[in-house]
Structure 1
């Protein structure tokens, strides 16, 4: 028979007090213990799981971090929630998110910022910041997030946990509030790689593959542009140097890879698609945009600036980038970069600056695999000034299983 201990622990006084400090969970499921007891009757071990607050959960408040939805209670579960319940996971609550998942800091939310468990003065990253912080602080063993430009991988990097973004389209996103339909993807967080493997196996994303000799490609675009280095050149240099030391010590074959098609299109075209699609989601609420957080509203206004021809052209080039990745994937098993160019900034540092250099620098490494629809995992591998920074393994399109088979061989620094 299973045990209810893990679920009960989430509701213990110590964990509840810890959550108040971190602000990872914003709503708890009052029926979680009863649901765990029902699962035990079926002979299944109940596992508590946190759910990002843009994923619909039947009977549990789902706010999108926004004033407009602060009392919204879905009548149906999202597809992914229906699935995990069958697997024995118990939704213990909803985790904080940047409003409408439209930001990388999880500071613009009606619940206030989620704090980084490694340093409470710092951001957790975003937009799935609550989900990353919840597992980083060991409130739950596993959580679910969404990723459109790095919203799983960025907080995973800054909070020092695993963050797995699945191949675009691998998990049905029905019942997830949309950000940008061409990129929205689901995935998982955990401190324990086995948890990532277990849930991925249940979703048919993992089958152990024997990789005799891991071949790593390091994209030449990993070198941060000078205009971004200027944010904090000393810190960026530290991350790059630690990353190169990490690669050298792996003992695997690696080469630096030219990716001219990616460099020509990704960083130019990604914003066109992302902002245009996000604006289309919210255009019917335009008369209520004054109720949105200022940084989120500014990004929606930015989406109005693009022409249809620019949007369609950007979508066309997306296929060229995927073809380039497919070609490279025949020579290399994974591509490897840092996940973020810096560790977590302070909350004070990013306040009111979400649509500035902070967003651009934190997404620089992550937008590539979103544009290419590629499965990617951030591994908690580096420490910079005693703060975590992840390394990012990018797999070939639809090669989630191969990516996970390789990721387990990479050393971590938890």
Structure 2
């Protein structure tokens, strides 16, 4: 890991990429104080990039919206736990307005730019955290994931994005979007670095054992990936097979699950931000205002049916995980779109189709880079068991790096 001083330097050097909305100029002094006082623990000097819907005392929080800006007087438990072991916040990161989007093209603060091609998106809504990790301006990014908002930017920026199981990481001090789907998640350059950090605070198992044999299913029929993504995905599948994976294929028509996730998201988001929609709707980005208005117009029956479908989806995947250790998909159905293309109505489902399933079910899921020589592509792995998931992701990473 690069540490606070180098991360801070890189954050300033790559300010053109617009990953940070606020930089903590005191970060190096805070680390030195921890060292002098003997309070620097297992994560001493780990540099944190915190999405700007997560509160850190003494730093501004905007939720990606200037009309919500405030100075925070509390620190979210997820951040506080990492700080207690000597990690330091480098800054607050750019995000999609209200976290209600998958592109991180923010009309108020500008788009977070992809480090592999600044003309393309990072993906969202945790795009600033993913970009900061990708360029070395943070060791660990903290984000939120309601439909893929950690895994999508991880895939498009070429880093690792992990969504733990629903409810594992506390969401206090995190501005909500849709409480039945919201997860706190993490971004790191490698699975190894991710596990090293999370295990230091008890959020991941230590001493992962490399699997000798495991069964996995490729989920087909969910979305049509681009040819570029498809080629990278099957190379990743070959890497899984080479570490002992026995492959099968399962066809899934996910349209019903996607509609349920959307109904839950829009209904709950509208309930959370209805007051802002009424008073600040003219200041909101068009996409966010449109989605909130759609959520406000949904009948109660749509929400109730969606809750039932959520239970149905969870039961389906629980049964699938009795047959397979993990299931895999591409993380996104497209490589990073160009910034000017994001208003195309086809972009949003191409980004969300695979990831949103596991917000609906709450199962842990991770995006790891697929073997490519151009724009990054993500492999999504999901499981019922975190230790199994992280063990296979770690073994895959070692194999994929050789390809």
1:326 aligns with 2:321: no
Match of 2:227 among 237, 262, 265: 237
Structure 2 counterpart of 1:38? 33
Asked whether the 8 Å contact 2:51–2:129 carries over to 1, the reply is yes
Q: Distance in 1 between matches of 2:11 and 2:54?
A: 23
Q: Distance in 2 between matches of 1:177 and 1:337?
A: 29
Q: How far apart are residue 69 of structure 1 and its match?
A: 2.2
Structure 2 counterpart of 1:271? 262
Asked whether the 8 Å contact 1:259–1:324 carries over to 2, the reply is no
- Aligned runs of 1:374-413 on 2, under 5 Å? 374-383=363-372, 386-396=374-384, 399-410=385-396, 411-412=399-400
Unaligned runs of 5+ in 2: none
Asked whether the 8 Å contact 2:155–2:367 carries over to 1, the reply is yes
Structure 2 counterpart of 1:172? 170
Normalising by structure 2, report the TM-score.
Answer: 0.92
Q: CA RMSD in A?
A: 1.9
Q: Deviations over 1:146-178 (max 9, x none)?
A: 100000011000000000011110011011111
Change in Cα spacing, 1:67 to 1:264, as seen in structure 2 (3 Å) is: closer
Q: Deviations over 1:116-149 (max 9, x none)?
A: 0001111111000000000111111211111000
Match of 1:290 among 272, 279, 282: 282
Q: Distance in 1 between matches of 2:400 and 2:53?
A: 30
Unaligned runs of 5+ in 1: 230-235
Three-state SS of the structure 2 residue aligned to 1:174 is coil
1:181 aligns with 2:179: yes
Asked whether the 8 Å contact 1:118–1:159 carries over to 2, the reply is yes
Structure 2 counterpart of 1:281? 272
1:212 aligns with 2:212: yes
Structure 1 counterpart of 2:147? 149
Asked whether the 8 Å contact 2:235–2:370 carries over to 1, the reply is no
- Aligned runs of 1:11-410 on 2, under 5 Å? 11-12=8-9, 15-18=11-14, 20-41=15-36, 42=38, 43-44=40-41, 45-70=44-69, 72-201=70-199, 202-210=201-209, 211-224=211-224, 236-249=226-239, 250-251=241-242, 252-259=245-252, 263=254, 265-285=256-276, 286-350=278-342, 352-353=343-344, 356-383=345-372, 386-396=374-384, 399-410=385-396
Q: Deviations over 1:253-288 (max 9, x none)?
A: 11002446xx36312211111101100001122222
Q: Deviations over 1:57-95 (max 9, x none)?
A: 10101111112123x111111111111111211011001
Three-state SS of the structure 1 residue aligned to 2:351 is helix
Q: Distance in 2 between matches of 1:332 and 1:34?
A: 49
Q: How far apart are residue 305 of structure 1 and its match?
A: 2.5
